[in-house]
Amino acid sequence: MSEAQAKSNQTKRWQEMDAAHHLHPFTQHNELAAQGARVITRAKGVYIYDSEGNRLIDGMAGLWCVQVGYGRQELADAGYKALLELPYYNAFFQTTHPYVAELSQKLAEVTPKGIERFFFANSGSEGNDSAVKMIRFYWNLKKQPKKKIIIAREKAYHGVTMAAASLSGLTSMHPQADLPLPGFVHIPCPYWYGDGGDLTPEEFGLKTARALEEKILELGAENVAAFVAEPIQGAGGLIIPPANYWGEINRICQKYDIILHVDEVICGFGRTGKWFGSDTLGIEPDMINMAKGLSSGYQPIAAVGIGSKVGEVLFNAGEEWSHGFTYSGHPVAAAVALANLELIQKEKLVEKAGGATGAYFQKKLAELSDHPLVGETRGVGLLGAIELVKDKKTRERFDSSMSVGYQCRVHCFANGLIMRAIGDTMVLSPPLVINEAEMDEMFGLARRCIDLTARDLGIL
């Protein structure tokens, strides 16, 4: 049997096991089972490899998370050492351990000004559910039990657990589980390219920020607990708000005494060119949620960070906080996260994303805007979006039944590039360690695949 035949047989065996017994996230099960999942077997640097020996450049850093790239010895060593020394212990019964204590201190150093205490969870969704419970507890302690409604935004993605999915404004997530839960409402998001119409970005930024104020006044500030938002919306289509948006949101939250909970799960840890999206966009959060880049995805770990407004009240509640996970602050995950943050600092990855690497990425991204299929490119740091449209001038889109973005993604996979399609918005969010030669390759492949998509449509 040839080596290729052996690989193909092994791939089929894995695909069969997978099809028979594995339920995938966000997947139409029977469709995938019929076609067989691509089996990813290893990864190094900015590349992933499948079981057939194909190499793909990972333009999405996994799911927006592998900041330091794949296969980093420092993180593996940190995890291995913790596995041998203290593979598990919890922090429930007046105990702690060095890994979580040191990680907490490191987070206080790198997170936005004023964020100083951290609660650990295992996923971004759990972080947001924990944040919702904190927010409710805060207003109960403040003797304002009516102040409970949480406002989030359309097209927001905050995760899949019951409260996190209720916060999410991607409405297709809701009906299967009868969501959102009561007490969660959504306002329009600052997606100028998609929804701005004839307004200038500034006019639209102000309009969508003022939508928060209007909603607060409609509900009564005495009933509104918090506003929850991503600095730049990720899974909703890489929505970068106009420059005046966040200043107005800061003002409104302060004026009406509304907790501002910022979901930094994608924007955190250098992605936008500073440590956090809040730093880049001038946001003044009371609380933040983080995951993904916290461990570069090497271990499941998330954290909710709180400032003094919420922190002093919770800390001095005079009663036990009835919340926590078996794996809150897991020693192995904490050790890997700490090693990850130290590596990010040592290699100056945040400075690079905000400096030369980010500038080169943005230059290459902008070059795609001359393509006949590309209506707009936009980006910050190492985040980039490419809007595929029918008409560049009017911003008219293709009929969604044509699945143009999906077709482009299919070409990407076939040509060795992972690029995310969100409707017809193509998104790139590569590891922060990516170098110029790799960016040349990534953007070269992106152009080729957009060309192939245009050819399918009879445009080229």
Using CB under 6 A, list all residues that contact ligand PXG.
63, 123-125, 128, 157-159, 230, 234-235, 263, 265-266, 291, 420
Cβ closest to ligand PXG, residue 288 vs residue 341: 288
From the list 296, 319, 286, 321, the residue with the least C-alpha distance to 111 is: 286
How many angstroms separate the CA atoms of 424 and 407, rounded? 9
DSSP 264: -
Q: Under DSSP, is residue 256 helix (H, G, I), strand (E, B) or coil?
A: coil
Cβ closest to ligand PXG, residue 39 vs residue 63: 63
Cβ closest to ligand PXG, residue 157 vs residue 245: 157
CB of 152 to ligand PXG, least distance (A): 11
CB of 271 to ligand PXG, least distance (A): 11
* Separation of CA 200 from chain center: 27
Cβ closest to ligand PXG, residue 147 vs residue 237: 237
From the list 287, 284, 283, the residue with the least C-alpha distance to 313 is: 287
CB of 284 to ligand PXG, least distance (A): 19
How many angstroms separate the CA atoms of 263 and 187, rounded? 16
CB of 427 to ligand PXG, least distance (A): 8
Question: In the complex, which residue's CB is closest to ligand PXG?
Answer: 124
**DSSP secondary structure letters along 361-429:** HHHHHHHGGGSTTEEEEEEETTEEEEEE-SBTTTTBPPPGGG-HHHHHHHHHHHTTEE-EEETTEEEE-
Cβ closest to ligand PXG, residue 236 vs residue 358: 236
How many angstroms separate the CA atoms of 85 and 331, rounded? 9
CB of 409 to ligand PXG, least distance (A): 11
Q: Which residue has the tokens 């560049």?
A: 392
The β-bridge relationship of strands 117-121 and 302-306 is: antiparallel
Cβ closest to ligand PXG, residue 11 vs residue 122: 122
Strand partners, 304: 119, 289
How many angstroms separate the CA atoms of 118 and 91, rounded? 13
CB of 151 to ligand PXG, least distance (A): 16
Cβ closest to ligand PXG, residue 97 vs residue 124: 124
| C-alpha radius of gyration, the chain, whole number | 22
Cβ closest to ligand PXG, residue 57 vs residue 422: 422
CB of 186 to ligand PXG, least distance (A): 15
CB of 430 to ligand PXG, least distance (A): 14
